[in-house]
Structure 1
């Protein structure tokens, strides 16, 4: 999965090897530089911290999953599609399981990792053909992150080659999440209907004779999109 023909790939691979050999908190940037056969200055140019290296690893995992994501026919239900994508992610992570156990035990808390984790789960939902826009979409991403974090703990302790415990845990969590999302969807739809009625009562709706508002002027400087 990791392209070790690149310096970034070698650094990430070295980091994961070290994490598999000793506790994550004991892995120092100096150790990573030595394992990657570079000096600290070269390491700093590529990654400012261990969290940044983990973020890059997570992005590499995303790329690998998306490149090999199951091809769906449209006949599958949403829960089955998400199930297949998550299990595909665990397949990609399997060679790094010992390292991930070490990292998980340390519970690294860093906003960069939180943002990366949420982005990863959004892309897993995209791979499953699930919308992530709007209030409901944001809730789906948050819910998916919670499901994934819970099931990953089971996966880390699951020594069965067939991942029976992991699949059972994932199925249970997805069923519960599906029920919660259905209830939330009803709430959001209801709120939209109430808001629409209120707008009509207050006369804020667009009448047939109303003239369209002038288009907003385009700023001279380009707007930078969120990454």
Structure 2
């Protein structure tokens, strides 16, 4: 490989890395701006142009990142996923329940700066994370949370895991939105309770059914 070729490849890699970082920074700025405006003005009163202006982004660039309001909300899920997945994985020797608890509490922590806006969305009747259009993204997020806990799998068992964990997550999220305790004790209690209920529900299924799809790690 010639020196010119090496330098060109290095330049291309640097440009690509810079572009990726710029997109990530713009996305984070837009999400922060959106949650501030939603908390202050409400969901229906917050326009995409207002979010772009608040984030300091040209409207055409904002459009490329978020073609619709649902894209903006879906990006919040992805943002939370990335921050959780960047952290060290739980100890694989810990029980599945504890690993899932750890991962989902980390997800709660990274969403904390956005809680005022999320609370307004919930109180305005905007079921953002349970909306049918956002369900595939939610299941994908829960799949990655299972992977982070060392419990991911495919097939029917994996699909049931993701849907079950989504139910656990949404139920816990509702408690967290109104949890004013400094240590999130109400949220932690709800998550612990919801994970145990999911496990009990799995164990209540006929053994033949569980065996047919594999019971290893199911429901945490």
TM-score tier, shorter chain, comes to: 0.7 to 0.9
2:165 maps to which of 106, 128, 144: 144
Question: How far apart, CA to CA, are the structure 2 residues paired with 1:119 and 1:165?
Answer: 26
Match of 2:150, SS?
A: coil
Unaligned residue ranges in structure 1 (runs of 5+) = 194-227
**1:48 Cα deviation after fit:** 0.7
Deviates more, 1:157-166 or 1:7-16: 7-16
1:12 to 2:31 alignment: yes
Question: How far apart, CA to CA, are the structure 1 residues paired with 2:78 and 2:213?
Answer: 35
Question: How far apart, CA to CA, are the structure 2 residues paired with 1:3 and 1:86?
Answer: 28
2:176 maps to which of 152, 155, 162: 155
Name the counterpart of 1:68.
Answer: 87
1:33 maps to which of 24, 45, 52: 52
Q: Which has the larger radius of gyration?
A: 1
1:87 to 2:108 alignment: no
Unaligned residue ranges in structure 2 (runs of 5+) = 1-20, 215-220
1:51 to 2:66 alignment: no
Name the counterpart of 2:147.
Answer: 126
Question: How far apart, CA to CA, are the structure 2 residues paired with 1:173 and 1:192?
Answer: 23
More helix by share: 2
RMSD: 2.4
Contact 2:90 / 2:149 at 8 angstroms: preserved in 1?
Answer: no
Contact 1:22 / 1:102 at 8 angstroms: preserved in 2?
Answer: no
Give CA deviations for 1:82-105 in whole Å, capped at 9, x if unaligned: 111111111111111101112223
Match of 1:89, SS?
A: helix
Match of 1:26, SS?
A: coil
1:107 maps to which of 119, 127, 146: 127
Aligned length: 191
Contact 2:27 / 2:65 at 8 angstroms: preserved in 1?
Answer: yes
Contact 1:82 / 1:124 at 8 angstroms: preserved in 2?
Answer: yes
Change in 2 beyond 3 A, CA 1:169/1:9: closer
Change in 2 beyond 3 A, CA 1:58/1:192: closer
1:186 to 2:207 alignment: yes
Question: How far apart, CA to CA, are the structure 2 residues paired with 1:68 and 1:185?
Answer: 37
